[in-house]
Amino acid sequence: MAKILCVPLDPVHDVGIKIINAELAKHGHQTLLLQPDLPMETIVKRAAEGEYDFIMVSRTLGYGVAELLARFTDLLDAAGIRERSKVVIGGKPVTPELAAELGYDKGFGAQSTIDEVIAYVEGRELPKEAAGYTRTRRDIAGKYSYKFFDKEIESLLDSICDKLLAWADGKTSPGVERMKLRDAMLRETNPATFADLRARYNALCDRTITDANEHKILPKGVRVVSAGEREALATFLGTSTPYQPVRIQHNDAQPVVFKFLGSGCPVMDITHGKICERWGINGFLIINPSWEARYEGLIEGCLTHENDGTITSLENIRLMRESLDESTLLTVRAHRGLNTPETVLLAGEAGANLSKIDLVYGSLGAGTDPERISVDGIEAMRLCARYGMAFDIPGNDELSGVPSWKTLAGLLINVMLGKKLGAKAILKPLFCYGPHIVLNGQMKQNFVDYNTAKIYALRHIVDCPIWPGEPIAFMTQSEERIQSANTTSYHAALAATLGVDAITIASTDEAYSRGPICITSRIDTIRAVTDAFRFMGDAQIAPSAMAGVYTDEILTKIREVLREVEAKPTLHDAIYAGLLGSEEDGAYPGKFGSGTVTHLKE
Amino acid sequence: MSTAMNRVMDAIDIETYIICATAAEGKTLALELGREMNLGDVDIMFEEFDGYGMRVRLRKYIYKPGARYEWLAAHVKA
Amino acid sequence: MHIIGIVGTAKNTGKTTTLAALIDEAGRRRARIGVTGIGYDGEEIDTITGLPKPRLMLQAGTIVATSEQCLLATSAGYAVIKETDARTALGRVVIVEILTPGLMVLAGPNTKRLLSVVLDDMEALGLGAVFVDGSLNRIAAMSVVETMVFTTGASHSTEISFLSEEAHAIRGMFIGAECAGDPFPQRITVTDTSGVETGTLALRSLFDAEDTSRLLAVLTDTAARIDIPNMVTLEALECLALHAASLKPKGRTLVLADPTIALLAGEPRATLRAMRALSAHGFTIGYRHSITVGAMTVNPFYPSQRDHVFVPAYIDGDTLLRTVSGAVDVPVFNIKDNGAAVALYEHLMP
């Protein structure tokens, strides 16, 4: 037990020293809190009388105050009190350097915690996780059984997926074949065999891709990240450390928080990523350029690109994985375009933690031919199983005007398919003000009920992780900074209250479309969400009775949709029939890769 | 040469309120402000005229992705 | 070993500039010196005003006592000679020898006891002189040095008349008879001319006005010397001066620990006034440990606050130098003047 004198040197009581005094007393220390604004000589006399182990001083700083604080340590020294008492200064701007300058034995500033103060008094080294905080990687899918509670839906999904798998059996595509060749190339050591594999890979690629890989003719705006740039990045990261890293979550039950990375430049992405990690971000989704979707084949190398989307290459993903903290989750988007299986392969090889596959959205929202994405998507899910990566299923079809129940039905098909292929899916319902919702007025009263209903409905159906996205608050945000941060934080608070596993958040410049995301805008929303999580803690947002009404409606309509889908021979027939999103809804089956699915040669 | 400007990581946002009679005047003044601040052409990310003036968020990119970042150049070993 | 402390009346009065000039001069002469500081100094940017600060460039062969954390950021090459028991807010104080020149921040022992221990360690290395950098207006730890260089300037006040009056008062406080005594006194003692104790008082943290009344109660006619080994307040000195007029006989000596006690008592001009009043009523001021004021330096710079940021500003340097020189009987320099550094060095270390 230590004996401590708490001294508010300010004219009025500072809350900080009161809290410290109370906390120290709670920890069994003998404390005395002096009244504010006593003459220094009186304080020195009181300090001498009590034989204290510590004298803790608090004072707000201004010009001239430093001399006052310095005089205080001088008086204590001259009065012989420093022989037995350690003198400690606390206050917002206090740093170890300032404490040293003022002659104090220890300083506690704005970032210091009560635990640090107590540990210091008790002469303990504070364990590292308590001093800052140790980042831990959360296994999003780990605790779920993927058990279906709704037996009708389960049997419909069973049938839909079995028919799809039967249809796909014996079929392949250039995407699947390239993945197999790449897989072999990654392991091939014989140069002659490698050259042969490579030639076969090239034969399955579009001209733009072979031009880049064989002749170093890169698409416009793409260039190689030089060795010097990579070295400079490594030096920069090696010499910078996160200063007092922040945790977004106020308790362990709150969702992990993801952001997108995909500026085009891996160096910029990584630098943004490291800064976001410091601010507490738990994971990133790597977003590739939209043009990548149209080409057969992937460009190799560590590449940067002037426009949106970072090129999917083993080198780029690996650089990100190696540069980011081990605890940071990395998701690589695979379902857009003609390279779905190979993307998952590269993600798995580079050590990414998750991938992103959606057979329905990949076709209706991302432009890939439904048959092609079926064949490719199934193979991609098998690869997820091989690498032990979970995959998330974005329900972003809703943004084009598809009703939520059609989107959610699509997500569930992917969950069941994943289950059959041994891969763990993560449901990603949107927290958004989607066009169908606007037209039908489900969010006229509030933004809480309908978003809540989606989660309730999914929870009623299956025991599966839920990760609202993508990002949350989509279509409620403007280019205005505060509004944008606010809506993100409100939706995050709702996500926390619903106990979902993860969320993806935008930046405050997400709605601004004429340039890349900048770092300050990223930090804006992270800070907003951190405050929202602190605000909510373990409290709940109470939805109105309408949430229950909407839940029932969504469940009924999901069943209807799945019955209709099940009645069709295959999933892509259902997609063409508009059952999971029609042209009136604003969804169109994609055309990339049409006619490329072939039968495997015996 | 290392300047404070080229140590900006990516972009500079300016948020301010411009006294103006109309939204059109506000926009003109906002663009003019960027030039007066030696930022050249700035982009108006957001504007909101309220009858007295206009609240604006302006942005100037110092580095776009793929550029050679001077803040990184300092870490290139000689 | 000559121990020279650089002490300021306030922040930004030129302590580091003075120290840097002395170190440079020592380097030029290849003198083997030691350097330490009681605070934190030598950083690029002032921790309070955010203005650029002079930095300390140390030459090979210099011995430095500073905190572990300052060594992490130094550009100098060094070898650790000793890890001392002294600790600061920036870690353990370590004594190092500079092997290759570079910039270094000083954060040495922060109390008089620890400074004394570290100086003993440095003395054992056979140094000719050690410079001790002050911090802000701190003085207590400096009670162990032999010579002080005071720095004052516009940062403390832009009123030149105030600065010169204060400089005069500070200088005046160092004038006192050297009176040998018990190095570890445990009581306040009153002795007669033959050194026999005629009265004692228990030692408390501060000798204040209340203690003065207790002292007067034991002050017999034979009392010739009063030893107050602890901190004395200005009120106590004023109270004693007030009663001194009616005390008989005259010719007593009031022995304080050292001049830093007088400096710490209160506002220097008021303290000197009280000390002068005591002298006028027959009290001689003495110190158990005398300290010499070697010189003073003046600095016309001050941080001026404009629109919530600090910007550099200056008062008239020549007038400041002339006025302060006229107020004290020790050499005064504006360290930035041509030749000032050489003259100061030669004056301090003839």
Which A residues in the span 103-142 are in contact with B, Cβ-Cβ below 8 Å?
none
The pLDDT of residue A397 is 83
Query: Maximum CA pair distance of chain A?
Result: 97
Q: Is A421 helix (H, G, I), strand (E, B) or coil?
A: helix
Predicted confidence band at A178 (pLDDT cuts at 50, 70, 90)? very high
Structure tokens at C335: 């360290």
Question: Quick one: closest CA in A to C133, which residue?
Answer: A101
Number of alpha carbons in the 13 Å side-chain half-sphere of residue A197: 18
CB C95 within 8 A of CB C63: yes
The answer to whether residue C53 scores a pLDDT higher than 70 is: no
Comparing A45-49, A350-354, A410-414, the range with the smallest average pLDDT is: A45-49
The answer to whether residue B75 scores a pLDDT higher than 80 is: no
Q: Is A436 helix (H, G, I), strand (E, B) or coil?
A: helix
CB A213 within 8 A of CB A296: no
Q: Which residues of C touch A97 (CB under 8 A)?
A: 40, 43, 47, 89-90, 107
Whether omega before C249 lies within 30 degrees of 0, making that bond cis, reads yes
- Whole-angstrom Cα distance, residue C204 to residue C221? 25
Going along chain A from its start, the domains and CATH numbers come out as 3-131 (3.40.50.280)
Residue C231 burial by Cβ neighbours in a 10 Å radius (0-12, 13-18, 19+): buried
Nearest-5° Cα angle at A81, A79 to A83: 120
- Whole-angstrom Cα distance, residue A389 to residue A423? 7
The answer to whether residue A67 scores a pLDDT higher than 70 is: yes
Instruction: Encode pLDDT of C184-203 as tens digits.
Output: 888 999 999 888 999 999 98
Query: Residues near B23 by Cβ (< 8 Å), separated by ≥ 6?
Result: B47, B49, B54
- Whole-angstrom Cα distance, residue A233 to residue A87? 42
The answer to whether residue A82 scores a pLDDT higher than 80 is: yes
Of C39, C233, C305, Cβ closest to residue A103: C39
Task: Say what the pTM is.
Answer: 0.75
Instruction: Encode pLDDT of C321-336 as tens digits.
Output: 999 999 999 999 999 9
CB A503 within 8 A of CB A466: no
- Whole-angstrom Cα distance, residue A118 to residue A236? 35
CA-to-CA separations, A465 to A97, A370, A392, A398, in angstroms, rounded: 47, 26, 9, 20
Query: Residues near C90 by Cβ (< 8 Å), separated by ≥ 6?
Result: A96, A97, A100, C40, C67, C68, C69, C70, C107
Instruction: Encode pLDDT of C123-177 as tens digits.
Output: 999 998 999 999 888 999 999 999 999 999 999 999 999 999 999 999 999 999 9
Q: Residue B38 gets which letter from DSSP? A: T
Interface chains of chain C (3 or more CB pairs under 8 Å): A
A88-97, A175-184, A365-374, C47-56 — most confident range: A175-184
- Cα dihedral sign for A564, A566, A569, A570? positive
Asked if residue B56 is part of any domain, the answer here is yes
- Whole-angstrom Cα distance, residue A485 to residue A476? 11
Question: Quick one: closest CA in C to A50, which residue?
Answer: C205
Contact A265 B66 (CB under 8 A): yes
**Residue bearing the bigger pLDDT, C245 or A450:** A450
Say if C141 is an interface residue toward chain A (CB within 8 Å): yes
- Whole-angstrom Cα distance, residue A310 to residue A270? 11
The pLDDT of residue A335 is 77
Phi, psi dihedrals of residue A146, rounded to the nearest 5°: 60, 30
Identify the residue whose tokens are 């000197």. C272
The answer to whether residue B2 scores a pLDDT higher than 80 is: no
What kind and span of H or E run contains A119?
Answer: helix A114-121
The pLDDT of residue A94 is 87
Q: What is the distance between the terminal CA atoms of chain A, rounded to a whole angstrom? A: 80
Strands C129-133 and B53-61: unpaired
Query: Residues near A193 by Cβ (< 8 Å), separated by ≥ 6?
Result: none
Comparing A44-48, A135-139, A580-584, C171-175, the range with the smallest average pLDDT is: A135-139
Structure tokens at C97: 């020898």
**Residue bearing the bigger pLDDT, C83 or A244:** C83
Predicted confidence band at A404 (pLDDT cuts at 50, 70, 90)? very high
Predicted confidence band at C348 (pLDDT cuts at 50, 70, 90)? very high
Q: How many CB pairs under 8 A join A and B?
A: 80
The pLDDT of residue B66 is 84
The pLDDT of residue A109 is 86
Comparing A148-162, A557-571, C207-221, the range with the smallest average pLDDT is: C207-221
- Whole-angstrom Cα distance, residue C207 to residue C231? 6
Contact A101 C135 (CB under 8 A): yes
- Whole-angstrom Cα distance, residue C146 to residue C258? 11
Query: Residues near C178 by Cβ (< 8 Å), separated by ≥ 6?
Result: C286, C287, C290
The pLDDT of residue C44 is 64
Strands C129-133 and C33-37: parallel
Asked if residue B41 is part of any domain, the answer here is yes
Nearest-5° Cα angle at A269, A265 to A274: 150
- Whole-angstrom Cα distance, residue B53 to residue B44? 15
Query: Residues near C146 by Cβ (< 8 Å), separated by ≥ 6?
Result: C2, C3, C4, C291, C292
Q: Residue A219 gets which letter from DSSP? A: P
The answer to whether residue A14 scores a pLDDT higher than 80 is: no
Question: Which of A42, A77, A239 to mutate to probe the C interface, most C CBs <10 Å?
Answer: A77
Which A residues in the span 509-528 are in contact with B, Cβ-Cβ below 8 Å?
509, 512, 514-516, 518-521
Asked if residue B29 is part of any domain, the answer here is yes
CB C300 within 8 A of CB C154: yes
- Which amino acid makes up residue B45? M
Q: Which residues of A touch B75 (CB under 8 A)?
A: 232-233, 235-236, 239
CB A289 within 8 A of CB A310: yes
Interface chains of chain A (3 or more CB pairs under 8 Å): B, C
Helix pair angle (A227-239, A314-323), 10° resolution: 20
Contact B65 A518 (CB under 8 A): no
What kind and span of H or E run contains A512?
Answer: none
Count CB-CB contacts under 10 A for residue A591.
Answer: 14
Question: Quick one: closest CA in A to C142, which residue?
Answer: A74
- Which amino acid makes up residue A85? S
What torsion do the CA atoms of A89, A93, A97, A98 make, to the nearest 10 degrees?
-60
Q: Which residues pair with A54 in a beta bridge?
A: A4, A86
Tell how far CA A563 is from the center of its chain: 35
Instruction: Encode pLDDT of C312-322 as tens digits.
Output: 899 999 999 99
Comparing A254-263, A468-477, C36-45, C102-111, the range with the smallest average pLDDT is: C36-45
The pLDDT of residue A220 is 87
Interface chains of chain B (3 or more CB pairs under 8 Å): A
Q: Which residues of B touch A479 (CB under 8 A)?
A: 45-46, 57
Phi, psi dihedrals of residue A44, rounded to the nearest 5°: -60, -40
Count CB-CB contacts under 10 A for residue C346.
Answer: 11
The pLDDT of residue A128 is 57
- Whole-angstrom Cα distance, residue C53 to residue C50? 9
Q: Which residues of B touch A265 (CB under 8 A)?
A: 65-67
> CATH number of the domain that B39 lies in?
3.30.30.60
Question: Which of C110, C260, C306 to mutate to probe the A interface, most A CBs <10 Å?
Answer: C110
Contact A481 B10 (CB under 8 A): no
- Whole-angstrom Cα distance, residue A293 to residue A282? 27
Whether omega before C268 lies within 30 degrees of 0, making that bond cis, reads no
- The percent of residues in chain A predicted with pLDDT above 70, rounded, is 98
The pLDDT of residue B77 is 54
Reference A79, options A47, A118, A53; nearest CA is A47
The pLDDT of residue A578 is 92
Comparing A35-39, A86-90, A530-534, the range with the smallest average pLDDT is: A35-39
Asked if residue B78 is part of any domain, the answer here is no
Structure tokens at C239: 């109270």
CA-to-CA separations, A169 to A176, A181, A232, A583, in angstroms, rounded: 13, 20, 49, 29
Question: How many folded domains does chain B comprise?
Answer: 1
Q: Which residues pair with C130 in a beta bridge?
A: C3, C34
The answer to whether residue C308 scores a pLDDT higher than 90 is: no
Of B63, B69, B77, Cβ closest to residue A231: B77
Tell how far CA C29 is from the center of its chain: 26
Average pLDDT of every residue of chain A: 91
Comparing A237-246, A590-599, B9-18, C331-340, the range with the smallest average pLDDT is: A237-246
Predicted confidence band at B78 (pLDDT cuts at 50, 70, 90)? very low
CB C94 within 8 A of CB C66: yes
CB A575 within 8 A of CB A425: no
Query: Residues near A556 by Cβ (< 8 Å), separated by ≥ 6?
Result: none
The pLDDT of residue A398 is 87
**Domain of B33?**
5-73
Going along chain C from its start, the domains and CATH numbers come out as 2-174+291-348 (3.40.50), 177-287 (no CATH)
What kind and span of H or E run contains A229?
Answer: helix A227-239
CB A19 within 8 A of CB A13: no
The pLDDT of residue A390 is 96
ipTM: 0.94
Instruction: Encode pLDDT of C213-236 as tens digits.
Output: 999 999 888 889 999 999 999 999
